[in-house]
Structures are given as C-alpha cells and as structure tokens.
Amino acid sequence: MKRITTTGLSIAVLALTASPALADPGAPGTTFPEQPGSHPLAGCAALVSNPGALSAPRSATAFTITNGLFGDACFGS
C-alpha cells in the first residue's frame, strides 16, 4: 500500500510542477512588457514604474541590458 501511495503522490507532484511548462504562453509581446519589441514605450514604462529596475545592484551584463533599454526606449538614443 505504501508503494502505491508513494507512486501516486510522485505522479501528482510531477503533474503539478509540469503544468506551468505546458501553459499557453500568450500572444507575443503580451507576457513580457519589459521586452518591448516594436513598442519601446512599454519597455520604458516597465523600467520607470519599477523603482529597483535601475538602482538595484546587478551584474555588468544586467547593467548593460537595462541601461541600454532605458536609453533606447525612454530617450530614443
């Protein structure tokens, strides 16, 4: 009986943890507004509305990405 219960619980946990991977990602451009694509104002709004986006400690790569997006989206440079 323990083996059946353990197997059943294992299958249930695997099914629950796999469900986000099988979810519908949505239309392009609707799930990640900080990646603006052809709508740079959405990227600017995402950066400006998040107080930690430009001031939080981050790696050099993240610094380059966020500051590049900030310059392109908010100032058009």
Structure-model confidence comparison of residues 10 and 55, the more confident one: 10
Question: What does the alpha-carbon distance between residue 42 and residue 32 come to, in Å, rounded to a whole number?
Answer: 10
Of 76, 75, 69, which is closest to residue 34 (Cα–Cα)?
A: 69
The pLDDT of residue 29 is 57
- Within-domain flag for 52: yes
Give the domain extent around 43: 34-77
- Within-domain flag for 46: yes
Question: What does the alpha-carbon distance between residue 70 and residue 59 come to, in Å, rounded to a whole number?
Answer: 16
Longest distance between any two alpha carbons in the chain, whole Å: 67
- Within-domain flag for 66: yes
The pLDDT of residue 35 is 56
The pLDDT of residue 6 is 93
Q: Indicate the number of domains in the chain.
A: 1
**pLDDT, tens only, 17-76:** 876 666 666 666 566 555 556 666 777 777 778 777 767 788 888 888 878 877 877 787
